[in-house]
């Protein structure tokens, strides 16, 4: 399909050059007709090709692509593929976290925290509870510790098993939202008392 317009153009030009008409006006008329024919063939083929290449982009994807393009132009990353992977992983994480609703914490120390601190504690929990089951497993805790470093005032040398044993008050080998919110609130209160 892509080659039909050039072929039509060549055929029209060949008819002009092979014309042996003695009069210049006949040659000119023949040339004009051939050019018009070639243009029509090319325009028709171009329109067909454009229609075949047209892609309908859903409205939601348009916003995603626009935001991604802005971020790419703003950040000008050296490694576009790594940047793209990280960008879309973060967007997926933010989307998951936005849909993830936790029940209110029953911890009195948590309830006494300012709203912005409660939100930070909740956001950390949501980010690392990747399966949204309202508990942090040992694997999720390891990831959290690798990303955030020394938690609860412990050095970075403390392993996830030790921290799990300290935070898992019911002994089910997971840190529930209630256990997490309480432990974070107590730790923050102790830090404020120590200052």
| Residues facing residue 135 across a β-bridge | 176
Give whole-number Cα distances, 171 to 130, 155, 163, in Å: 21, 23, 12
pLDDT tens by residue, 108-127: 999 999 999 999 999 999 99
Helix then strand then coil, % of the chain, to nearest 5: 70, 0, 30
Nearest to 105 by CA among 12, 15, 14, 185: 185
Kindly tell me if the per-residue pLDDT of 15 is higher than 80. no
Q: For residue 61, what pLDDT band results from cuts at 50, 70 and 90?
A: confident
pLDDT tens by residue, 123-149: 999 999 999 999 999 999 988 888 887
pLDDT tens by residue, 72-114: 999 999 999 999 999 999 998 889 888 999 999 999 999 999 9
Q: For residue 31, what pLDDT band results from cuts at 50, 70 and 90?
A: low
Residue 3, classed as helix, strand or coil, is coil
Distance CA 93, CA 86 (A): 10
Distance CA 47, CA 5 (A): 11
pTM of the model: 0.63
| Residues facing residue 175 across a β-bridge | 136
């Amino acid at each position: 399909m892509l080659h039909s317009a050039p072929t039509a153009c060549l055929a029209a030009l060949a008819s002009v050059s092979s014309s042996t008409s003695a009069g210049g006006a006949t040659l000119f008329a023949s040339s004009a007709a051939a050019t018009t024919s070639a243009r029509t063939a090319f325009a028709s083929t171009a329109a067909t090709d454009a229609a075949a290449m047209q892609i309908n982009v859903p409205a939601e994807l348009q916003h995603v692509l626009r935001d991604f393009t802005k971020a790419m132009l703003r950040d000008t990353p050296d490694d576009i593929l790594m940047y793209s992977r990280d960008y879309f992983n973060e967007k997926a994480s933010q989307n998951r976290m936005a849909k993830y609703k936790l029940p209110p914490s029953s911890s009195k120390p948590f309830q006494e925290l300012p709203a912005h601190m409660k939100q930070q504690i909740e956001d950390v929990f949501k980010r690392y509870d990747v399966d949204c089951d309202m508990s942090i497993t040992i694997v999720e805790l390891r990831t959290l510790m690798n990303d955030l470093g020394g938690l609860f005032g412990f050095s970075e040398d403390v392993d996830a098993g030790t921290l799990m044993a300290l935070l898992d008050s019911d002994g089910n080998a997971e840190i529930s939202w209630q256990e997490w919110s309480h432990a974070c609130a107590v730790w923050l209160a102790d830090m404020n008392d120590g200052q």
